[in-house]
Amino acid sequence: MSRNDTIIVTGAGGILGRALITALNNHGYDHVIGITRSVVDLTNARNVEKLFLEVRPTTVFHLASRVYGLGGNLDHHLDIFRENTTINLNVVESCRKAMVKKIVAAGTVAAYGYPYINVPLKEEDLLIGQPHDSEYCYSQTKRHLLHHLIASKRWGKIDYAYGALTNIYGPWDKFDVQSSHVVPSLIGKAFLAKQSGNKLHVWGDGSQIRDFLYVNDAAEALITLFEKGSGVYNISSGVGVAISDLVNCIVDSIGLSTGIVWEKDKPVGIKSRIVDNSKLVSLGFCPDHSIADGISETIAWLSANSSNIDFGERR
């Protein structure tokens, strides 16, 4: 790939899109076009196709999707399915018509069949079985995206790299305490608890295990796939973290002293999910941020920008 090639990034206004565009620029890729909803509505096939044919990108990083955490997934199953299926179809088809050379797509480890065949999760098992009910519709749209990419390579000669992303977090995340992913939701709750002097309420008992990756590291992983990868790769830290340890890290970093209430009657989703990233590491990827470093940087950003954050606590 040439540094002079034109690159499109969908989902450019999101947490990962912002980090990726910065990382691409830092790597010397100067012809990067970020696509947000204000530029084009990706659910409108005609407008997406028109933009791609005008720009004629060489590579497309497809990150855009309708994303929720556990609570949001449970409340918006069919909306998630409809909108993400439409977005993915329009983007990949527009890539074909514009003769794009490579698509780097953001998938999800939620697409793995559950119960898991192997832990840590390995790429060869991605499409075996059915995803967990708590993430079913979102996961199936990401599976469909992968099948579309496979077909586009076979019959449309478009190379692809599909990154099955673990839980990412960092600056510009959505800190909605009702429907965001686990890290931003917990950070938002802890931030509000400190302001109000209340205790931090956390779903479950803290024993659940997850793999978390700081967004800047995720962006570097996508660039590694762009430059060196083809096919399916897990994008993760490769390290399992107990929710109790995550909560303690957040509490320590934010300086919350009011205590924690574990709501053991609440849904917790999958008990344990650790993700093998050895295939990605073999391309030269190595995360730079520990969970403590990433949480600290995220909270520092949130503290500096809290007046502009919608925590969703009114609902």
Q: What is d(CA 78, CA 82) in angstroms, rounded to the nearest whole number?
A: 6
Q: What is the CATH number of the domain that holds 188?
A: 3.90.25.10
Overall pTM surpassing 0.75 (yes/no): yes
Whether 21 maps to a domain, the answer reads yes
Whether 203 maps to a domain, the answer reads yes
Whether 278 maps to a domain, the answer reads no
> Could you tell me if 126 and 189 lie in one domain?
no
> Could you tell me if 153 and 16 lie in one domain?
yes
> Could you tell me if 156 and 219 lie in one domain?
yes
Whether 107 maps to a domain, the answer reads yes
> Could you tell me if 138 and 108 lie in one domain?
yes
> Could you tell me if 107 and 131 lie in one domain?
yes
What pLDDT sits at residue 266? 87
Q: 37 to each of 12, 41, 64, 141, 292, how far by Cα in Å?
A: 9, 5, 9, 19, 33
Whether 281 maps to a domain, the answer reads no
pLDDT tens digits for 7-53? 999 999 999 999 999 999 999 999 999 999 999 999 999 999 999 99
> The domain containing residue 126 runs over which residues?
7-168+211-235
Closest to 170 measured CA to CA, from 184, 190, 182: 184
> Could you tell me if 253 and 226 lie in one domain?
no
Q: Which two tokens stand for residue 12?
A: 């450019």
Closest to 90 measured CA to CA, from 120, 51, 54, 59: 51
Ranges in the chain, pLDDT < 70 = 1, 67-76, 313-315
Phi-psi region of 231 (alpha: psi -120 to 50; beta: other; left: phi over 0): left
> Could you tell me if 102 and 249 lie in one domain?
no
Number of domains in the chain: 2
> Could you tell me if 186 and 117 lie in one domain?
no
Q: What is the CATH number of the domain that holds 12?
A: 3.40.50.720
Pairing of strands 159-165, 167-169: unpaired
Residue type (1 letter), 293:
D
pLDDT tens digits for 155-200? 999 999 999 999 999 999 999 888 778 999 999 999 999 999 999 9
Q: 228 to each of 1, 161, 163, how far by Cα in Å?
A: 10, 9, 13
Query: At 315, is the secondary structure helix, strand, or coil?
Result: coil
What pLDDT sits at residue 314? 45
Q: What is d(CA 162, CA 167) in angstroms, rounded to the nearest whole number?
A: 16
